[in-house]
Amino acid sequence: MTERKNIAIMGAGLVGSLLSLYLAKRGHKVDLYERRPDLRKTSVDGGRSINLALSDRGWRALKGIGIEEDVRKVAIPMYGRMMHDEQGNLTYQPYGKEGQAIYSVSRGGLNMALMNLSEPNPDITYHFGRQAMDVNLHSNEVQLRNIETGSVETVQPDLLFGADGAFSVVRGAMQKTERYDYQQSYLEYGYKELTIPATADGGWVIEKNALHIWPRGNYMMIALPNFDGSFTCTLFFPYEGERSFASIKSEEDLLAFFREVFPDAVPLMPDLAQEYFSHPVGSLVTIKCFPWSHKGKSLLIGDACHAVVPFYGQGMNAGFEDITVLDQMLDTFDGEDWEELFHRFERTRKPNADAIADLAVMNFIEMRDKVADPRFLLRKKIEARISEQYPGKWLTLYTMVTFSELPYSYALETGKVQDRIMKQVMKHIKSVDDYNKPEVQQLIERELLKKEKLS
């Protein structure tokens, strides 16, 4: 048991809330400071909140604190991608093996569940409506403005965790330290959320257990199921250009465009125009930085140090995995040298954070463009055959990222090697049956041997 510390967590989002449970379990006193009001008391956006895809890394962190089953009750499994073409035809592609799924959960719902689970703990205290104004990394003092009263208080925890997201105030203070590596990069795409409502009796009007995609080359729409029968759709669309947020100026523009490119979705979206013109356009940022800690007194975690674009569905999962990894390190920590511990954490996680950031950008191209290509779908089938034939020797990149706990950096590197092999193999493939041709079998055999030698 290490010495009990007074810990402040900036941000009571998903990562901050889950982290509080893990730290309190180890006997520390935890205060969470959150700019926004209590989600549970203020109904945000009429109760309909966006959803996220929870996968193995996320589940593992929930399981580690014993709350997996509570969350599973409100999570909807999605076993594959359902692609919608421009005529409304559907093609289905499973994500993994029989039974493997990613899970649609409501961000707000999951956040509230984590708050409800942690708040009764006498060692955990939530403070809402507190905006971090300034962080002094030297003294570990944080100035917090009470949003209701306008008064400013100062807290000075033993340890400060920055779980305050892509625009982290704690990171802002670190950015001012000497020789700080920092990168923010935006895609030239924004996103807008739209809705496919539930049927009158609360059912789902399109396949419930799938992630729906309308891939259209340089843009796309996706839809994830909600527990109430609705789907939250997200349009990923260029800011500028011939077909872009900038080019759609009127309801006529909007409807003409949607009827042409998403014809099967339009009848399912009765509030399309009203939502389109009232919902904001969100931006898509990748944040990379280093180090993540300062003098063993403050540490960044989750989006605060590695915000990624959403296309691999791994943002929350990567943040939760941070907590799992930190908790494993705490298992063997003697409580003495927090600086060394934080350094070990940041050095371990940084290559994986960089890898998932790059994978997420790569997957955008796959989702919006390639999934509509018959050659790509054929390749996926051939790769599934290889994976079946050589179970221990070939996991698809998607499986490594989503259904395993292999480091993201290993997944990225192995994915590149496998990509080169698949390019070789596909030269010999016109249909799934070609997989059995002797030259294909020999090629795969040979390349797998080479791959093993590499690793």
Contact window for a second copy (CB under 8 A) among 124-132, 173-181, 250-258, 363-371: 173-181
Nearer to a second copy, 179 or 430 (CB): 179
Nearer to a second copy, 92 or 180 (CB): 180
Q: Does 177 bind a second copy (CB under 8 A)?
A: no
Contact window for a second copy (CB under 8 A) among 184-192, 405-413, 424-432, 435-443: 184-192
- Phi, psi of 403, deg, nearest 5: -115, 25
Tokens encoding 174: 């670190």
CB contact at 8 A, 183 and 172: no
Q: Does 442 bind a second copy (CB under 8 A)?
A: no
Please give the residues from 4 up to 43 whose contact with a second copy meets the rule CB under 8 A.
none
What is the nearest approach in angstroms of a second copy to the Cβ of residue 361? 13
Nearer to a second copy, 153 or 188 (CB): 188
What is the nearest approach in angstroms of a second copy to the Cβ of residue 188? 8
Interface residue with a second copy among 43, 184, 274, 442 (CB under 8 A) is 184
What is the nearest approach in angstroms of a second copy to the Cβ of residue 298? 20
Nearer to a second copy, 185 or 442 (CB): 185
Q: Does 180 bind a second copy (CB under 8 A)?
A: yes
Contact window for a second copy (CB under 8 A) among 97-105, 177-185, 293-301, 406-414: 177-185
**Pairing mode of beta strands 6-10, 80-84:** unpaired
Interface residue with a second copy among 41, 73, 179, 427 (CB under 8 A) is 179
Interface residue with a second copy among 92, 186, 277, 390 (CB under 8 A) is 186
Contact window for a second copy (CB under 8 A) among 14-22, 52-60, 183-191, 298-306: 183-191
Q: Does 167 bind a second copy (CB under 8 A)?
A: no
Please give the residues from 233 up to 262 whose contact with a second copy meets the rule CB under 8 A.
239
What is the nearest approach in angstroms of a second copy to the Cβ of residue 280? 12
What is the nearest approach in angstroms of a second copy to the Cβ of residue 183? 4
One character per residue 410-429, x = contact with a second copy (rule: CB under 8 A): --------------------
Interface residue with a second copy among 92, 182, 277, 390 (CB under 8 A) is 182
Which of 354, 365, 191 shows the shortest CA–CA distance to 287?
354
What is the nearest approach in angstroms of a second copy to the Cβ of residue 186? 4
What is the nearest approach in angstroms of a second copy to the Cβ of residue 118? 35
Q: SS in 3 state form for the chain? A: CCCCCEEEEECCCHHHHHHHHHHHHCCCEEEEEECCCCCCCCCHHHHCCCEEEECHHHHHHHHCCCCHHHHHCCCEEECEEEEECCCCCEEEEECCCCCCCEEEEEHHHHHHHHHHHHCCCCCEEEEECEEEEEEECCCCEEEEEECCCCCEEEECCCEEEECCCCCCHHHHHHHCCCCCEEEEEEEEEEEEEEEECCCCCCCCCCCCCCEEEEECCCCEEEEEECCCCCEEEEEEEECCCCCCCCCCCCHHHHHHHHHHHCCCCHHHCCCHHHHHHHCCCEEEEEEEEECCEECCCEEECCHHHHCCCHHHCCHHHHHHHHHHHHHHHHHCCCCCCHHHHHHHHHHHHHHHHHHHHHHHHHHHHHHHCHHHCHHHHHHHHHHHHHHHHCCCCCCCHHHHHHCCCCCHHHHHHHHHHHHHHHHHHHCCCCCHHHHHCHHHHHHHHHHHHHHHHHC
Contact window for a second copy (CB under 8 A) among 178-186, 265-273, 315-323, 392-400: 178-186
Nearer to a second copy, 129 or 282 (CB): 282
Q: Does 387 bind a second copy (CB under 8 A)?
A: no
Q: Does 181 bind a second copy (CB under 8 A)?
A: yes
Count of residues touching a second copy (by CB under 8 A): 12
Q: Exposed, middle or buried by CB within 10 Å (0-12, 13-18, 19+), for 388? A: exposed
Q: Which amino acid would we find at residue 202?
A: G
Q: Which amino acid would we find at residue 250?
A: S
Please give the residues from 272 up to 291 whose contact with a second copy meets the rule CB under 8 A.
283, 285
What is the nearest approach in angstroms of a second copy to the Cβ of residue 179? 4
**Cα 49–chain centre separation:** 16
Q: Does 178 bind a second copy (CB under 8 A)?
A: yes
Report how far residue 25's alpha carbon sits from residue 298's, in angstroms, rounded to the nearest whole number: 19
Interface residue with a second copy among 121, 139, 154, 183 (CB under 8 A) is 183
Interface with a second copy (CB under 8 A): 178-186, 239, 283, 285
